[in-house]
């Protein structure tokens, strides 16, 4: 999907078509055409309806429950649009809705840590539709492997992905993280790194990947950070329907100097990143996590606006929040009520992504401290996931 900020004056917006027969085919889908909510297009003998703004996302491969297209079934014949398509508008098309790149909420789950719950238990209790799975690292050089040691298939991570999908949800892999032997430093060229990402995409037929870029070995190492950005550009060129996410830390007022540079490099290199996600926690014990999260998010919005020339709505639609439920590493407290307010803020602004660390911790243990299998606060099991599902 091309950046919403890159839609030029020559892009066509097709009107919603009406059929002259019950199974007539709408105008054929075109990769260069902009479609908005309720537009209809046909591909391979099926009609599809767009759920939101989209461009260059094939209906045939993007019509799952949480994808951009709805498969309306088999069609035949032709369809006359109610008005002729506008092929050369004199002004830019209407600003895409803020939900243009919106994804299902996807809290992190880690099969190798913290008494991992059965995915079906969580899905059935909360209605969550996606999970972010930690972590793809490097093994024997530039080879992707879960936790850097267990390969990609055949282990606990792969079986958890199968269980998630069997429960009716989907998975976004998280590549990198704070620690471990990561792909960014181990893959010596952007092409090699893109190849490693591609192996993960192909192994699980993914619709999105999350690169969690942190610490001095990636986030603060500009050679490696640029390599990651270049690799994601290659991935997007080869897989235009796969959403790319960059996740990184933040201050209470938005990206720090490393984050600002990362965003500027993404623009300069034409990486076409779909979502920039911040982790608004570990603020040295900040007492108001709602205010800190909103401050960080508004700061990111301003950086995206100044870098890409986005409107507010366009900037928000390329942003995400990835919080930490309960007690953070630095003893900050995010309650279920606070997380609900954060979700409502994210929804009202049209953010694209909503996640937290982690489902493994989404169980109550008041006074339990910062541990792997509960939140350290009083709460009902899966309360944060249930709130997130409402995003």
Kindly report, residue by residue over 26-60, the tens digit of the pLDDT: 999 888 787 766 789 899 888 988 876 666 778 88
In this model, does residue 122 exceed pLDDT 60? Answer: yes
Does 211 share its domain with 278?
yes
Characterize 55-91 residue by residue with b for buried, 16 or more Cβ atoms within 10 angstroms of its Cβ, and e for exposed: bebbbeebbeeebbbbbbeebeeebeeeeeeeeeeee
Q: How are the residues of the chain apportioned to helix, strand and coil, as percentages rounded to the nearest 5?
A: 30, 20, 45
For 17, how many CA atoms within 13 A lie in the half-sphere containing its CB?
27
Which one of 72, 93, 122 terminates a domain? 72
In this model, does residue 182 exceed pLDDT 90? Answer: yes
| 361 within domain boundaries | yes
2 contacts 55 by C-beta, under 8 angstroms: yes
What DSSP string runs through 339-361? HHHHHHHHHHHT-SEEEEE-GGG
Does 180 share its domain with 255?
yes
Predicted pLDDT of residue 92: 33
In this model, does residue 113 exceed pLDDT 70? Answer: yes
Does 144 share its domain with 67?
no
237 contacts 287 by C-beta, under 8 angstroms: no
Give per-residue pLDDT as tens, 270-292.
999 999 999 999 999 888 999 99
Predicted pLDDT of residue 63: 81
What is the helix (H) or strand (E) element at residue 279, kind and residue range? strand 275-279
Does 66 share its domain with 116?
no
| 139 within domain boundaries | yes
Does 333 share its domain with 270?
yes
| 24 within domain boundaries | no
Residues marked as catalytic: 214
Please state, as a whole number, how many other Cβ atoms lie within 10 Å of the Cβ of residue 190: 19
Please provide the average confidence, as pLDDT, over all residues in the chain.
Answer: 87
Does 150 share its domain with 44?
no
Range of the domain at 127: 108-389
Does 271 share its domain with 334?
yes
Closest listed residue to residue 272, CA positions, set 227, 220, 308: 308
Predicted pLDDT of residue 202: 98
Predicted pLDDT of residue 54: 66
Q: What is the tally of structural domains in the chain?
A: 2
Does 295 share its domain with 178?
yes
Does 299 share its domain with 158?
yes
Does 119 share its domain with 39?
no
Predicted pLDDT of residue 87: 33
Q: Percentage of the chain surpassing pLDDT 70?
A: 85
Does 219 share its domain with 282?
yes
Residues comprising the chain, all counted: 391
Closest listed residue to residue 354, CA positions, set 363, 364, 341: 341
Reported as a pLDDT band with limits 50, 70 and 90, residue 75 is confident
Residues 6+ apart with CB under 8 A from 314: 4, 5, 95, 96, 98, 100, 308
| 5 within domain boundaries | no
Does 54 share its domain with 184?
no
In this model, does residue 78 exceed pLDDT 80? Answer: no
Predicted pLDDT of residue 286: 86
| 167 within domain boundaries | yes
| 379 within domain boundaries | yes
Q: Rounded to an integer, what distance in angstroms lies between the CA atom of residue 59 and that of residue 212?
A: 29
The DSSP code for 4 is G
| 151 within domain boundaries | yes
In this model, does residue 389 exceed pLDDT 50? Answer: yes
């Amino acid at each position: 999907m091309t950046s919403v900020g890159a839609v030029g004056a020559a892009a066509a917006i097709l009107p919603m078509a009406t059929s002259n027969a019950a199974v007539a085919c709408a105008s054929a889908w075109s990769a260069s055409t902009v479609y908005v909510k309720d537009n209809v297009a046909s591909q391979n003998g099926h009609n599809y309806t767009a759920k939101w703004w989209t461009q260059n996302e094939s209906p045939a491969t993007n019509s799952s429950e949480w994808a951009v297209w709805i498969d309306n079934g088999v069609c035949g014949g032709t369809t006359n649009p109610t008005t002729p398509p506008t092929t050369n508008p004199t002004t830019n098309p209407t600003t895409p809705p803020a939900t243009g790149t919106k994804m299902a909420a996807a809290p992190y789950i880690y099969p190798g840590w913290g008494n991992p719950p059965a995915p079906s238990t969580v899905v059935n209790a909360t209605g969550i539709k996606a999970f972010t799975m930690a972590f793809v690292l490097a093994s024997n050089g530039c080879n992707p492997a879960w936790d850097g040691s267990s390969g990609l298939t055949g282990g606990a991570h792969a079986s958890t992905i199968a269980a998630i999908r069997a429960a009716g949800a989907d998975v976004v892999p998280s590549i990198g993280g704070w620690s471990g032997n990561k792909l960014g430093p181990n893959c010596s060229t952007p092409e090699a790194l893109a190849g490693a990402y591609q192996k993960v995409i192909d192994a699980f037929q993914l619709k999105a990947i999350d690169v969690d870029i942190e610490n001095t070995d990636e986030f603060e190492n500009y050679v490696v950070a640029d390599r990651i950005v270049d690799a994601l550009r290659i991935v997007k060129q080869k897989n235009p329907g796969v959403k790319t996410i960059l996740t990184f830390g933040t201050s209470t007022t938005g990206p720090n100097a490393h984050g600002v540079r990362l965003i500027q490099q993404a623009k300069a290199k034409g990486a076409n990143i779909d979502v920039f996600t911040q982790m608004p926690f570990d603020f040295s014990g900040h007492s108001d996590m709602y205010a800190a999260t909103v401050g960080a998010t508004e700061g990111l919005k301003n950086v995206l606006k100044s870098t890409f020339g986005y409107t507010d709505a366009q900037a928000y639609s390329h942003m995400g929040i990835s919080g930490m439920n309960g007690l953070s590493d630095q003893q900050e407290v995010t309650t279920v009520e606070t997380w609900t307010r954060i979700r409502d803020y994210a929804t009202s602004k049209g953010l694209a992504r909503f996640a937290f660390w982690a489902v493994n911790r989404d169980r109550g243990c008041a006074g339990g401290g910062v541990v792997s299998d509960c939140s350290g606060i009083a709460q009902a099991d899966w309360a944060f996931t249930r709130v997130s599902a409402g995003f």
